[in-house]
A and B are shown apart, each in its own frame.
Chain A
């Protein structure tokens, strides 16, 4: 399982040092949940807060990877990946709400004095169907949107704007109480998942391990894809789509496939994010969140597989430190990051490291 990552790391960053770093990072990630199970007061014990924070960042890292797949490789900058992430989260949230409500209706529906579940809630008490929804909801939306968008050859900034409008519309829709997803407050106060307490250290550790596994699996998948002929086609779409068409390829199908795959990855990340963080609300869909994901990728380095993970970790790590230490200045910092990265680090941190190792 770890082998491909190490290979990627060596390929991308060169020296043996990065191989060692990669191994250490993975080992630490695998050790964290185990350490969190130690009794409180133990010197090596990892607090639930830290575990949740790292788990959250790992989910974001998956989003960054998915975004990198469409932006870094296929040249489609999506400013709407937050929507897919949130849809996956909501699908999982529906199951968790049903678990918390037992036989009755979820609490927010009782407040609205609804007497029965809307049709799209049917079957959400089954974990398997919730998992299907996690894949289907973002996947189908991406399929429909992508089919129309790529058919009329919307690309570049037009594509970015349309995706941004899409997530904005989604946010407005989910803010409404009548939509049936808890409106402003979204879903919260979950109790159990598959019968286990969501807040218990054991469940947290398992969820964390699942997140690490998903991250590694998607890294492997992306690595396979980008190394294959398919990956080279994607790069060609990014660099010279018209020439690719003159060569006899129809880029629509390739774009659609990578677009849907990326959306599904986001949905899965969202589904793991919700039980760990314990809340999902429409603000996850705000355009701000989606565009922030773009800066993770840009900071780490587009068109590399390690870069987005690095970027997501760096930005979110800094965010959780900044918003505690200097809450007023976080936005200044984030804004400056956007500007400086695009001006001075077009290839991101990975590009910087690569350059250093070459010289």
Chain B
């Protein structure tokens, strides 16, 4: 059967056929003809066909038709392409934008005329830019050098990874014959690469900030307990883990009893996690750690024992596998800043959350009665006791506060990583390094050290690999301590034992 015959058939059918009969026609055609049909649809979209294409994408021929359509991968790709083409006619800006972005990758030469028309009538700026890019990628294959030149210049103005691949293919020997276009393509490629590099660097800095905010949440409580009590709490990582499991429990319970408000379960989980971790922390302080003040190395071992018990208890209760904590809708997705830089909402929220926790902790330590007592005990335990501060109570509350902050960190962690019994173990060493680097009992020190370590980690990672990066950072910390043995922000004092 000739191509002309089918085109004729189509042209006859197109205006006449209602949606359902188009579906019928599609389902009875042979795969090769189906492909041709789809290509024609993609080049000449009709709003009425949108429903049919959406149904075809799901493998059916109509929303209320249960018959299955057998598709191969080529047809699926063509359906996606035709669907995107039709979605450009949509009223919704977001749908149009997504469609235009999809077409940047998959547009076919037959669609040039249609895209050109859409570009002229498109009201939204973002969609227009995306469409222009899609068109430019297509026009690289045009026969006139003038059109190709315009397309190459247009590609140079975007910072899209797609544009780079297109330009690179164009610059391969033997592809482009016109020398003006070649030179323009080289300039454009350099432009695109510079923009991409900026995006990459910003992306690394952002993931560094994100890691830093998590380290900060993990190390903040540690800095308080270590600064105040001189106690290294090896079970601190398990407080993070308890917080994450509390989040999981809240999620499960809300799913069962309050499915309407499930979107807001992380907010409900915050106080629950704080109370859980803080409560366990205070219990530990009263039963074990209180007896070990003044013997820091023994405390280290005892708290390690506690962490072993907590891990094993969680393993017996919830199983050794990771439990599933899902992001609510408002935390999934991300903010597209540059074509190759997406900032995920959950990480953005966590950075903000970490800073908020630091601010609250600072207020608590510097603007409340409890904070005054805590600082007094940190500076001089005996003198504080003589002035009537109940040091035992302050110890307990401060330990609870430190553990509670770790619990809050657990909520944040559950939104970006896996929740399993070993969760805390993977953060404990890094958060100790933050405390060592930042200096004891110093909020500002912890803040700088956490973000510094996070960013250094993520910037080194692509250059020399994650493991070597970690080792290098450890070496740098050891060297740094040579200079400033008390950390970044040391309390000045004249006491020596």
A-side residues, CB < 8 A to B, are: 71, 77, 145, 148-149, 151-154, 156-158, 160-162, 164-166, 168-169, 172-173, 175-176, 240, 242, 287, 291, 294-295, 298, 328-329, 331-332, 334-339, 341-343, 346
B 461-497 contacts with A by CB, 8 A: 465, 467-468, 470-471, 474, 477-479, 481-482, 485, 496-497
Are B305 and A338 in contact, CB atoms less than 8 angstroms apart? yes
CA distance A168 to B429 in the complex (A): 8
Nearest-CB residue, chain A, relative to B313 = A332
Q: Is B232 located at the chain interface by the 8 A CB criterion?
A: yes
Q: Is B304 located at the chain interface by the 8 A CB criterion?
A: yes
A154: chain B residues within 8 A (beta carbon): 481, 485
Contact of B298 among A152, A153, A342 (CB under 8 A): A342
Q: How far is the CB of B325 from chain A (nearest CB, A)?
A: 24
CA distance A117 to B304 in the complex (A): 41
Given A161-B432, A172-B471, are A331 and B482 neighbors across the interface (CB < 8 Å)? no
A175: chain B residues within 8 A (beta carbon): 467
Nearest-CB residue, chain B, relative to A343 = B291
CA distance A164 to B428 in the complex (A): 11
Contact of A342 among B301, B311, B467, B497 (CB under 8 A): B301
Are A332 and B309 in contact, CB atoms less than 8 angstroms apart? yes
Contact of A338 among B301, B477, B497 (CB under 8 A): B301
Q: How far is the CB of A61 from chain B (nearest CB, A)?
A: 19
Q: Is B433 located at the chain interface by the 8 A CB criterion?
A: yes
Q: How far is the CB of B415 from chain A (nearest CB, A)?
A: 25
Are B302 and A169 in contact, CB atoms less than 8 angstroms apart? no
Q: Write out, one digit per residue, whether chain B residues 304-318 have a CB within 8 A of any chain A CB (1) or not (0).
A: 111111011100100
CA distance A173 to B464 in the complex (A): 12
Given A176-B467, A343-B302, are A164 and B311 neighbors across the interface (CB < 8 Å)? no
Are A328 and B481 in contact, CB atoms less than 8 angstroms apart? no
B296: chain A residues within 8 A (beta carbon): 156-157
Known contacts A158-B436, A331-B309, A339-B288, then 19 further A-B pairs from the complex at CB < 8 Å, ordered by chain A residue:
A71-B297, A77-B297, A148-B478, A149-B478, A153-B485, A157-B296, A160-B297, A162-B478, A175-B467, A295-B301, A328-B316, A332-B308, A335-B306, A335-B309, A339-B305, A342-B295, A343-B288, A343-B302, A346-B295
B 106-129 contacts with A by CB, 8 A: none
Are A152 and B481 in contact, CB atoms less than 8 angstroms apart? yes
B 423-482 contacts with A by CB, 8 A: 429, 432-433, 436, 465, 467-468, 470-471, 474, 477-479, 481-482
Contact of A173 among B312, B313, B467, B496 (CB under 8 A): B467
Contact of A148 among B297, B306, B311, B482 (CB under 8 A): B482
Q: How far is the CB of B292 from chain A (nearest CB, A)?
A: 6
Q: Is B300 located at the chain interface by the 8 A CB criterion?
A: yes
Contact of B312 among A298, A328, A346 (CB under 8 A): A328
Contact of B300 among A149, A160, A173, A240 (CB under 8 A): A160
Given A158-B436, A168-B429, are A291 and B304 neighbors across the interface (CB < 8 Å)? yes
Are B309 and A166 in contact, CB atoms less than 8 angstroms apart? no
Are B308 and A334 in contact, CB atoms less than 8 angstroms apart? yes
A337: chain B residues within 8 A (beta carbon): 305
Are B485 and A152 in contact, CB atoms less than 8 angstroms apart? yes
Nearest-CB residue, chain A, relative to B310 = A335
Are B312 and A332 in contact, CB atoms less than 8 angstroms apart? yes
B 310-350 contacts with A by CB, 8 A: 311-313, 316
A-B contact pairs, 25 of them (CB 8 A): A77-B300, A148-B479, A153-B485, A157-B226, A157-B300, A158-B436, A160-B297, A161-B432, A161-B433, A162-B477, A162-B478, A164-B432, A165-B433, A169-B467, A169-B470, A172-B467, A173-B471, A242-B497, A291-B304, A298-B298, A332-B312, A335-B305, A335-B306, A338-B302, A342-B305
B311: chain A residues within 8 A (beta carbon): 331
Nearest-CB residue, chain B, relative to A344 = B291
CA distance A71 to B297 in the complex (A): 10
A335: chain B residues within 8 A (beta carbon): 304-309, 312
CA distance A165 to B437 in the complex (A): 13
Nearest-CB residue, chain A, relative to B307 = A335
B485: chain A residues within 8 A (beta carbon): 152-154
CA distance A222 to B309 in the complex (A): 34
Contact of B305 among A151, A166, A172, A336 (CB under 8 A): A336
Nearest-CB residue, chain A, relative to B496 = A242
Are B467 and A157 in contact, CB atoms less than 8 angstroms apart? no
Q: How far is the CB of B464 from chain A (nearest CB, A)?
A: 12
Closest 7 CB pairs of A and B: A338-B305, A335-B308, A335-B309, A331-B312, A335-B305, A342-B298, A342-B302
CA distance A161 to B232 in the complex (A): 9
Which of A77, A166, A176, A338 gathers the greatest number of chain B CB atoms within 10 Å?
A338
Q: How far is the CB of B363 from chain A (nearest CB, A)?
A: 29
Which of B295, B298, B307 gathers the greatest number of chain A CB atoms within 10 Å?
B298
Q: How far is the CB of B303 from chain A (nearest CB, A)?
A: 8
Contact of A343 among B226, B292, B312 (CB under 8 A): B292
Are B232 and A157 in contact, CB atoms less than 8 angstroms apart? yes
CA distance A172 to B299 in the complex (A): 27
CA distance A164 to B497 in the complex (A): 26
A343: chain B residues within 8 A (beta carbon): 288, 291-292, 302
Contact of B474 among A151, A166, A331, A338 (CB under 8 A): A166
CA distance A300 to B467 in the complex (A): 36
Nearest-CB residue, chain A, relative to B468 = A173
A334: chain B residues within 8 A (beta carbon): 305, 308
Are A342 and B292 in contact, CB atoms less than 8 angstroms apart? yes
Nearest-CB residue, chain B, relative to A334 = B308
CA distance A160 to B485 in the complex (A): 15
A240: chain B residues within 8 A (beta carbon): 497
CA distance A176 to B298 in the complex (A): 34
CA distance A149 to B482 in the complex (A): 8
Q: How far is the CB of B310 from chain A (nearest CB, A)?
A: 8
A339: chain B residues within 8 A (beta carbon): 288, 302, 305-306
CA distance A172 to B470 in the complex (A): 9
Q: How far is the CB of A286 from chain B (nearest CB, A)?
A: 9
Nearest-CB residue, chain B, relative to A339 = B305
